[in-house]
Amino acid sequence: MKNLFWLLLFLVPCVFPAQERDSLETLVKKEKNALKKADLLLEIANYLSDIDTVEAISYIKKAQKLIPENNKYLKGKVQFTFGQQFFGIEVDRAQYFYKRAIDILKDQQHKEALILTARAWHNYGTMEDYKDNSDEFLSIILTKSIPLAIKAGRNDLQAQYLNDIGAEMYDRKQYKKSIDYYDQSLKIIEKEPANYINSQRKIEINTNAAQSYLYMNNGPKAKVYLLNAEKVLEKYPDNPMSVPFYLVYAKYFQLYKNYENSLEQLNKGLKQKIVLPHDYFGLIYQKAFTLRNLNRSEEGIKVLKSVMDNRNLMSMKLNAQILHNEMSLLYADVGDYKNAYHHQLETKSLSDSLLAEERNSKALMMETKFRTAEKEKQIAKNELEINKKNQYMWMLGFAALLFLSWGIYIYNHLKNKRKIAEQREINLQQQLKEKEQTEQLKVTKAILDGEERERERVAKDLHDGLGGMLAGVKINLSTWSSNHLEENQYESFHKILNQLDSSVSELRRVARNLMPESLLNFGLEIALKDLCEFYMKDGLTIDFQAINIQKNLPLNLQVNIYRIVQELLNNAVKHSGADNILVQCSQNAEEFYITVEDNGKGITESEMSKVKSLGLKNLQNRVDFLKGKMEIQSAENQGTSVNIEINTHVA
């Protein structure tokens, strides 16, 4: 579901390519500026992506020849357009071109470059999702695409990416979370200008939210979103998103067993000019299901027969399994158990291992009914012979069956008893492991809390005690010098006073690092900003980015996050030799993300093994205590990137 909008974006050029292409070709012929002409050629290549990849690539190469080496934006756009040619087809190849576009555009900060980088990251992440790596997809959207869309001021892109996250939550059956993201997306897109593309997004997001509510059996809530989508659809009746809308509306009526209205919505969807194969399958299946519930199974059989010969639909095993299963139920309803059994066997052969036992029982039931009907005459003929059998044989058979049943019962009882004992042992081991982990967490927490209290005590002693004493010494020396020094001794004496001032400043710096006052007085975001400014110097730029950091985080968690960032910055400044460091802290509900990247000399494999020498041991302890994850990516002369994920409810 989350890739449906992108598929529709690719479909629109396929529906109206001639007019758009002719307009662009005309502009290319008239355009004298080489850079603008190259941009137009890339747009034509985009329109040709789903029509003729070979011709599209030829246009990209024409554009490539017109672009100078110093135009990073257009060079990045060339790589992005190459990636579009392989989107969803050759996943690794598409990712290769998207990553090249990202690398070329990484230093470009103007709006168009930020938008293109956001799209490149989004498509790169989508390819990860194609490879069943949905966690990486979510990470890229949250930490790359959305921040870039916000920075570029593109609310429509931000809404689209939030919708994609909602779709991923839906696929994970986390329906409440999916609705939260859909609502965020709708809140943003409602403020955007009313046009064809935005109307398409509104219909899609409202339809997605309605579907999530239907899976939660909340019809009234689903109806609200469906009505919102219907209002938009009235203004744009030929919108490609009308088909998924009618499909979900039909499911809404099915929830209330209003199958007549459900059938009406399905027929509306089937009459649309543009019906994608995935939606066509859904409409046909739901129509057959609805006809069966209307006791019109014969019509349902005809509907499914019309698509059974469609190789494209039936080539997908899941589609074929669902249709064969529904056909089996339809034939069973009309009493044709032979065909019901046939289609159930087809269903069984296409089913996965998790549903094998259930499908086997259905197949057995159909087989029993079929064989019973076929052998009814034979049973009648044999009835006289069965009545003539010896009573002794019946009793012997009954006794053997009773003995066998008793043996099976004893065997199952002992087997279950053994399983219960094994499960108890497993539960006991799990409890012991959890208890051990709890104790380890308590020890770690005590160590960290003790460390922070000691830092606070030492900082106070240094600032109020030794700092005050040094200040007093300076005052006394100044008073003494006015009465006891000769004029020619002032210069040497002031050098001593300057050294004393430097000592007091260094003392205050140490005290500040031990327990920053800005963290206690103004909160985490201001403290981190001050920390970055503190480390900045000539030849070193530190870019701090804060995204959705909540002010009500527990103080203990704020201190730990501050210490983590402090340790990472300290390592980067001391060891990396970088001139540019990025510090990004973002929060998404219960998850807190920390990213520190530098463009320094990187860490070699031998250095990576010396965690203690890099000062990361305490850092790892803090991350483990917070039940977080830490990932370090580095290569020699290619900089270092540290990514940390923390749950805010742990501290």
Task: List, as one string, the DSSP characters of 239-286.
Answer: -TTHHHHHHHHHHHHHHTT-HHHHHHHHHHHHTSS---HHHHHHHHHH
Among the listed residues 224, 232, 236, the one whose alpha carbon sits nearest the alpha carbon of residue 183: 224
- Give me the mean pLDDT over the 440-450 stretch: 61
pLDDT computed for residue 259 by the predictor: 92
pLDDT tens for residues 168-193? Answer: 999 999 999 999 999 999 999 888 88
- Give me the mean pLDDT over the 158-177 stretch: 92
What's the Cα-to-Cα distance from 509 to each of 301, 450, 506, 543, rounded to whole Å? 81, 21, 5, 22
Backbone φ, ψ for residue 647 (5° rounding)? -90, 125
pLDDT computed for residue 510 by the predictor: 60
pLDDT at 139 over 80: yes
pLDDT computed for residue 368 by the predictor: 43
User: Residue 2 — very low, low, confident or very high, per pLDDT cuts 50/70/90?
Assistant: very low
Tokens standing for residue 627: 């039940």
As a three-state string, the secondary structure of 190-226 is: CCCCCCHHHHHHHHHHHHHHHHHHHHCCCHHHHHHHH
- Give me the mean pLDDT over the 524-535 stretch: 87
Question: How much of the chain, in percent, has pLDDT values that exceed 70?
Answer: 75
pLDDT at 13 over 50: no
* Residue position matching structure tokens 């050029």: 13
User: Which of 315-324, 510-519, 616-625, 626-635 shows the lowest per-residue confidence on average (mean pLDDT)?
Assistant: 510-519
- Give me the mean pLDDT over the 113-141 stretch: 92
- Give me the mean pLDDT over the 279-305 stretch: 88
Does residue 513 or residue 9 have the better pLDDT? 513
Question: How much of the chain, in percent, has pLDDT values that exceed 90?
Answer: 27
pLDDT computed for residue 507 by the predictor: 60
Tokens standing for residue 27: 């502009």
CB under 8 Å, gap of 24 or more: what pairs does 502-505 form?
A: 503/470, 504/467, 504/470, 504/471, 504/474
pLDDT at 3 over 50: no
Sequence letter at residue 216: M
- Give me the mean pLDDT over the 482-489 stretch: 64
pLDDT computed for residue 365 by the predictor: 45
DSSP-based three-state secondary structure for 81:
helix
pLDDT computed for residue 571 by the predictor: 86
d(C-alpha 210, C-alpha 254), whole Å: 14
Among the listed residues 277, 261, 333, the one whose alpha carbon sits nearest the alpha carbon of residue 300: 333
Does residue 618 or residue 574 have the better pLDDT? 574
Backbone φ, ψ for residue 589 (5° rounding)? 60, -110
Give the chain's mean pLDDT.
80
Model pTM score: 0.52
pLDDT computed for residue 364 by the predictor: 46
- Ramachandran assignment for 293, one of left (phi > 0), alpha (psi -120 to 50 degrees), beta (any other): alpha
User: Residue 12 — very low, low, confident or very high, per pLDDT cuts 50/70/90?
Assistant: very low
d(C-alpha 169, C-alpha 181), whole Å: 9
pLDDT at 277 over 70: yes
pLDDT computed for residue 361 by the predictor: 46
pLDDT computed for residue 553 by the predictor: 87
User: Which of 119-133, 506-520, 635-649 shows the lowest per-residue confidence on average (mean pLDDT)?
Assistant: 506-520
User: Residue 609 — very low, low, confident or very high, per pLDDT cuts 50/70/90?
Assistant: low
pLDDT at 48 over 70: yes
Does residue 519 or residue 364 have the better pLDDT? 519
pLDDT computed for residue 441 by the predictor: 60
* Residue position matching structure tokens 């689903």: 222
Give yes or no for a contact between 527 and 564, defined as CB atoms under 8 angstroms apart. Answer: no
DSSP-based three-state secondary structure for 550:
coil
pLDDT computed for residue 471 by the predictor: 59
pLDDT at 50 over 90: no
Does residue 648 or residue 517 have the better pLDDT? 648
pLDDT computed for residue 615 by the predictor: 58
d(C-alpha 542, C-alpha 585), whole Å: 13
CATH number of 522-647: 3.30.565.10
User: Residue 11 — very low, low, confident or very high, per pLDDT cuts 50/70/90?
Assistant: very low
Among the listed residues 277, 188, 286, 190, the one whose alpha carbon sits nearest the alpha carbon of residue 229: 190
Give yes or no for a contact between 140 and 128, defined as CB atoms under 8 angstroms apart. Answer: yes
Looking at the DSSP assignment, which residues form a beta bridge with residue 588?
591
pLDDT tens for residues 385-425? Answer: 666 666 767 777 778 888 888 888 888 888 888 888 788 88
- Give me the mean pLDDT over the 581-586 stretch: 93
Domain residue spans of the chain? 242-294, 309-385, 522-647
Strands of the sheet containing 640-647, edge to edge, are 541-547, 580-588, 591-598, 640-647, 629-634
Does residue 329 or residue 488 have the better pLDDT? 329
